[in-house]
């Protein structure tokens, strides 16, 4: 059985090639082809001898994701449905805006958390994505951004399918490769990891030395309501998340973003706004108020505009930095909470 070459470090490739009588610098050339140039076939590595390419092909393989669905929204958002090497479905989204081009990537096939409002939560978690499968999404979405809009990606958000901190090692390894001079060379400041709230994962991420951003899918200002829509809160309650988020801020200097979907008559009252404002004063944060995107089979509905506006103004009047985030890609099921592999083969 051939080994997956993308699981090997530069040092490991060097050792293998040196043992075969090759010069050490050949390993760096191979590594650059794999990561900087995103090659997935040894025959493309044209600065290597044919003999070396043949030897690599005999001993190693690439396990890559492939595009099999592309949908473009009326607002310019593009969703790509990917197939993994073992024929599983994941989705990534490219969101164009005047000031930035953002890739939203998945970290798991499905999700195990079953949040009550999220389409992905209705899917079972089949497996974690390997770090290179996350990396490949970024490469594909960057090519799409360049082809469609003539601009490269400026931002990456781990907000697609799955809980990133339950696939911790692969997520961190993908970030390091995206950030690496021998990878995509994207600034860590442009990368945001979104979590439903895994206390141990937040603390661990704070210690990685990565200058990335953290977003918490909060969606309720107290444990009672959060328990109702997010089962993870039963084991990771708000009072335990607060010190973990403060620790992340202390280690990185980066404010936490609270993602807060407004649901009609559930979490959009002035009492909810008051409770959220109190919570926000305990953590250096910024609030994204998000319009709910309808998901089939979910009982929750979008907050009324007047309630949304009153909620927003209350936060701002009380010194809480906040913004209302407009949904993008709703017509292709690409908006927040809608990723559920509603895809068709090309």
Q: Estimate to the nearest angstrom the gap between the alpha carbon of 201 and the chain centroid.
A: 15
Q: What is the pLDDT of residue 328?
A: 65
Residue 339 lies in a domain: no
Residue 199 lies in a domain: yes
Q: What is the pLDDT of residue 345?
A: 39
Measured in residues, the chain has a length of 346
Residue 226 shares a structural domain with residue 266: yes
Last residue of a domain, one of 61, 92, 110: 61
Residue 344 lies in a domain: no
Q: What is the pLDDT of residue 333?
A: 58
Residue with structure tokens 């309808």? Answer: 294
Domain count, the chain: 2
Residue 51 shares a structural domain with residue 170: no
Is 336 considered catalytic here?
yes
Q: What is the pLDDT of residue 346?
A: 35
Residue 238 shares a structural domain with residue 315: yes
Residue 340 lies in a domain: no
Q: Point out the catalytic residue in the list 104, 111, 280, 336.
A: 336
Q: Point out the catalytic residue in the list 91, 133, 163, 259.
A: 91
Largest separation between any pair of C-alpha atoms in the chain: 72
Is 296 considered catalytic here?
no
Residue 39 shares a structural domain with residue 87: no
- Can you say whether the dihedral through the CA atoms of 159, 165, 170, 173 is positive or negative? positive
Residue 34: domain span: 3-61
Residue 47: how many CA atoms within 13 Å on its side-chain side?
11
| Chunked mean pLDDT (size 10), the chain, 346 residues | 92 94 93 94 94 94 93 91 94 92 95 85 88 97 95 95 97 96 92 97 97 97 97 97 98 97 96 98 97 81 95 97 80 54 44
Residue 177 shares a structural domain with residue 268: yes
This prediction has a pTM of 0.92
Residue 13 shares a structural domain with residue 153: no
CATH number at residue 29: 1.10.150.530
């Amino acid at each position: 059985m051939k080994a997956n070459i993308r699981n090997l470090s530069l040092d490991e490739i060097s050792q293998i090639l040196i043992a075969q009588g090759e010069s050490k610098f050949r390993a760096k050339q191979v590594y650059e082809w794999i990561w900087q140039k995103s090659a997935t076939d040894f025959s493309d590595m044209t600065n290597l001898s044919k003999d070396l390419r043949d030897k690599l092909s005999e001993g190693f393989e690439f396990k890559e994701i492939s595009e099999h669905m592309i949908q473009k929204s009326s607002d310019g958002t593009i969703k790509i449905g990917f197939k993994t090497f073992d024929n599983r479905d994941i989705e990534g989204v490219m969101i164009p805006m005047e000031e930035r081009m953002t890739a939203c990537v998945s970290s798991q096939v499905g999700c195990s958390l079953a949040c009550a409002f999220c389409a992905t939560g209705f899917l079972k978690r089949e497996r974690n994505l390997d770090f290179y499968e996350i990396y490949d999404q970024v490469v594909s979405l960057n090519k799409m951004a360049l082809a469609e809009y003539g601009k490269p990606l400026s931002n990456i958000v781990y907000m697609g399918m799955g809980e990133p901190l339950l696939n911790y090692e692969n997520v961190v390894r993908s970030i390091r490769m995206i950030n690496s001079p021998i990878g995509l060379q994207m600034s860590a400041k442009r990368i945001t990891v979104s979590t439903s709230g895994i206390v141990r994962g937040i603390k661990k991420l704070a210690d990685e030395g990565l200058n990335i951003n953290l977003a918490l899918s909060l969606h309720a200002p107290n444990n009672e309501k959060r328990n109702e829509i997010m089962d993870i809160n039963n084991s990771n309650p708000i009072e335990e998340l607060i010190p973990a988020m403060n620790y992340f801020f202390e280690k990185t200097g980066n404010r936490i973003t609270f993602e807060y979907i407004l649901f009609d008559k559930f979490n959009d009252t002035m009492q909810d706004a008051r409770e959220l404002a109190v919570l926000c004063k305990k953590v250096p944060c910024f609030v994204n108020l998000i319009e709910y995107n309808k998901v089939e089979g979910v009982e929750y509905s979008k907050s009324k505009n007047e309630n949304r506006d009153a909620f927003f103004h209350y936060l701002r009047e009380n010194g809480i930095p906040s913004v209302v985030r407009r949904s993008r890609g709703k017509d292709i099921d690409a908006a927040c909470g809608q990723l559920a592999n509603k895809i068709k083969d090309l």
